[in-house]
Amino acid sequence: MPTRLYRLYQGLTLIALCLFLAGKVISGKLTWYINLRFLPLTLLGIVLLAIMAQVVFRKPRSTDAHDHDHDHNHAQTPPGNLAILLIPVIIGVLFPARPLDSTAIDSKGVNVSAPLIGENAATRELEVTADQRNILDWIRIFNYEEDLSPYLGQTAKVTGFIYRTDDLPEGQFLVSRFVISCCAADGFAIGIPVQWDGADALEENAWVQVEGPVDAAELDGLKVPLILADKVESIREPEQPYLFP
Amino acid sequence: MQASQKISRPLVIVIALGTLAVLLFNLLPLSVFISLGQRLPVFATVFLGIFIEAVPYLLLGTLASGLVEVFLDRKWMTRFMPRGNLTSALAGAVLGLAFPVCECGVIPLTRRLFQKGLPIPAGVAFLLAAPVFNPIVIFSTASAFGWGEMLGWRLAVTLGIAVVTGLVFSVEKDAGNILKPLMPVVHVHLHEEESVQSFAEKIRRAFLVSVDEFFEMGRYLVIGAMLAAGMQTFIPQGTLLAIGNGPLLSVLVMLALAFILSICSTVDAFVALGFVGSFSFGAVLSFLTFGPMVDIKSLLMYRQVFRNRAVGYLVLLPLLMSLLAGLTFNYLFP
């Protein structure tokens, strides 16, 4: 492959990757793939890709023009292999973007108790009021607090999607969220059992907001929160479907 | 002969895959395909997750390599690197503190440093230790586990494995024997009269080197991320975690997970935290030491850079020593 064509090919691939990442950032879908924490890193990546494309596209100076005519470009990666770098863009275009949902639980499993963040996590939970706590906060409380009595009976208001496991009693479902520490690869689902009369009519994977007092229950030998729901409202999928610990 | 080989190989692969697809369609019940089809979006999300997360690190690694190529003088290396095997391996292991790269970026950088005359024990120790011995990873491990035992032992065990592996490799004196034949990465040849270049021109050249290296290594990142995402999507993680009991099995499961998940070393501590409740200290420690040294994507990149025998040692020695470390902790502090 002549050098100039090879460079053109590289440059276009770099631009495609750059635009792909920028598109994800602009549409706000970046957080469907990675933790928001890594946004600055992705932005840096976008800038580097843009600079690299610019360097590749820039007309070669007379100093290195001389070797554009001999055909000994041993540095070239075979063109077919170059195209591999386009696979992420192609997959991103072919598959409509979708955050992890209950289908993913089938391969990743669901947790009712997440031994997630170390020492000082529990103390933080005291600072937010009961109805501001999310699913992760409630599960942490039940993991780390010795004395649960102040929390029992408090009204929880959490959002999540519906997932059912076989070991749940009738009239119950899990209100679940995916937790992402770095990227979708380490995502796993957590869920709180919800007791509600209309539970069996609810559609799997649908997003709901659950409101009701919290009780303690036992599931698989673990102490977990149980929401005795007064209200289960169906809602649109939130823009940020994951929780970040 | 040459020409026919070039044409026929992809063709053979296409025919083989086509036959396989037809066979599978006839043999397997339709429901299998429906459930596979449903999981494809999950696969896409996980794959893109790994890729998007890792790409900036690979870009930084190749850029570091480009800058080393352009700005680091061979003479500097021979003057400042220690000569003895042990001191050289130790120096290599802590060299990461000066080059904050993770396991994607460290591979092209190590190759470049070898080219610049870095001694073999130092280079091998650097390759294995740098993804942990760098400020970013130390900080992220500390923010996950605190400035305590886990961080200390992670550093200590990584240092030990890297130095021992470096010493094993020290019997080899010629880097050419462990590296695959090198292709000169950038074809902008430097002639004597050109060696006096403006700073901007040097930067431009560094970027060109890094572009070529990005394309060379990036394809393994893509393929590795696809394999990792595929394994995660189609093999339920629960089955792996369910067998993870007992002092030996728990370590083996954590080692397997470190390999399969292929998470960047800069963030793996947060992932490891998720296993603390269900796995022993030793098992989690082995996850944190082995993962940064060997995983699916770095294995593919090793194969691009090193000869097969060297790749074998680079995988086996860290594997066995991480296993040993995990077992030791499981038996001494159950």
Identify the three-state secondary structure at position B98.
coil
Q: Are strands A231-234 and A207-219 parallel, antiparallel or unpaired?
A: antiparallel
Beta-carbon pairs below 8 A across chains A and B: 197
**B102 touches B293 (CB < 8 A):** no
Residue B290 one-letter amino acid:
F
User: Of all residues in chain B, what percent carry a pLDDT higher than 70?
Assistant: 87
Backbone angle region of B117, left / alpha / beta, with phi > 0 → left and psi within -120 to 50 → alpha: left
Q: If we measure between CA atoms, which residue out of A141, A163, A154, A144 comes closest to residue A228?
A: A154
Q: Does A236 touch chain B (CB under 8 A)?
A: no
Cα of first residue to Cα of last residue in chain B, in angstroms, is 62
Chain centroid to Cα B170, Å, comes to 21
Average pLDDT, chain A: 80
Average pLDDT over residues B159-166: 96
What's the rounded Cα separation, in Å, for the pair B119 and B83? 8
- Please state, in angstroms and as integers, the Cα–Cα distance from residue A191 to each residue in A47, A134, A178, A208, following that order: 38, 11, 9, 13
Answer whether A184 touches B (CB < 8 Å): yes
Provide the strand spans (E) within B208-317: none
The pair phi, psi for residue A207, each rounded to 5°, is -85, 135
Whether the Cβ atoms of residue A159 and residue A209 lie closer than 8 Å to each other: yes
In this predicted structure, the answer to whether residue A66 has a pLDDT above a threshold of 80 is no
> Which of A30, A52, A57 should we substitute to test contact with B (largest number of B Cβ atoms within 10 Å)?
A52
Measure Cα distances from B246 to B154, B268, B326 in Å: 21, 23, 12
Which chain A residues are within 8 Å of B263, Cβ to Cβ?
182-183, 185-186
Please name every residue paired with A178 in a beta bridge, in sequence order, or none if there are none: A189, A242
Task: Give the tens place of pLDDT for each residue, B38-48.
Answer: 778 888 998 89
Between A110-119, B89-98, B234-243, B297-306, the lowest mean confidence (pLDDT) is in A110-119
- pLDDT attached to residue B155: 95
- pLDDT digits 0-9 by tens, A81-96: 778 899 999 998 888 7
pLDDT digits (tens, 9 = 90+) for B59-99: 988 898 888 888 888 788 777 778 888 999 999 999 888 87
pLDDT (average), residues B257-268: 80
Q: Nearest-CA residue of chain B relative to A185?
A: B46
Q: What does the block give as tokens for A199?
A: 């539970």
Domain spans in chain A, listed from the N-terminal domain onward: 3-94, 102-243
Touching check for B215 and chain A: CB below 8 Å? yes
Whether A64 and B45 lie within 8 Å, measured CB to CB: no
Mutation target for A interface from B211, B226, B235, B237: give the one with most A CBs within 10 A: B211
Residue B27 is encoded by which pair of tokens? 């043999």
Looking from the CA of B202 toward its CB, the CA atoms found within 13 Å total 11
Q: How many residues would you count in chain A?
A: 245
Q: Is the pLDDT of residue A53 over 60?
A: yes
Q: Please tell me which of the candidates B39, B49, B267 has its beta carbon nearest to residue A107.
A: B39
Average pLDDT (B269-273) is 76
d(CA B300, CA B152): 30
Predicted confidence at residue B182, as pLDDT, reads: 63
Nearest to A3 by CA among B6, B197, B188, B200: B188
Instruction: Give whole-number Cα distances, A138 to A92, A155, B295, in Å.
Output: 35, 11, 34
Residue B274's pLDDT band (boundaries 50, 70, 90)? low
Instruction: Give ipTM to 2 decimals.
Output: 0.84
Task: Give the range among A22-31, B122-131, B135-144 with minimum mean pLDDT.
Answer: B135-144
List alpha helices for A66-128, DSSP H: 79-82, 87-94, 102-108, 121-125
pTM for this structure? 0.79
**% of chain A beyond a pLDDT of 70:** 82
In degrees, rounded to 5, the angle at the alpha carbon of residue B231 between the alpha carbons of residues B213 and A240 is: 85
Cβ atoms B224, B46 nearer than 8 A: no
**Per-residue confidence at B193, pLDDT binned at 50, 70, 90?**
very low
User: How do A188-195 and A222-228 pair as beta strands?
Assistant: parallel
Closest by CA to B56, choosing from A153, A30, A211, is A30
A212: left (phi over 0), alpha (psi -120 to 50) or beta: left
Question: How does A61-71 read in b/e, with b if 16+ C-beta sit within 10 Å?
Answer: eeebeeeeeee
Query: Which CATH architecture group holds A102-243?
Result: Beta Barrel (2.40)
- Burial class for A190, CB neighbours closer than 10 Å (0-12, 13-18, 19+): buried
Residue A22 has pLDDT above 90, yes or no: yes
Does position A62 have pLDDT exceeding 90, yes or no?
A: no
pLDDT band, residue A127 (cuts 50/70/90): low
Interface-testing mutation among A15, A77, A101, with chain B (most B C-beta atoms within 10 A): A77
- The helix (run of H) or strand (run of E) holding residue B53 is helix B30-71
b/e map B281-293, b = 16+ CB within 10 Å: bbbbbbbbbbbbb
Interface of B with A in 260-289 (CB under 8 A): 261-264, 267-268, 270-271, 273-274, 276-278
Q: Which of chain A's residues have a Cβ under 8 Å away from the Cβ of B70?
A: none
Residue B187 — pLDDT band, cuts 50, 70, 90?
very low
Q: Measured between alpha carbons, how far is A28 from A179 in angstroms, rounded to an integer?
A: 18
- Closest-CA residue to B101 (of B312, B319, B262, B292): B292
Domain boundaries of chain B, sorted by first residue: 41-181+200-332
The CA dihedral of B249, B254, B258, B259, to the nearest 10 degrees, is 10
Residue B10 backbone zone (phi > 0: left; psi -120 to 50: alpha; other: beta): alpha
Q: Which of B167, B142, B141, B148 is nearest to B287 (CA)?
A: B141
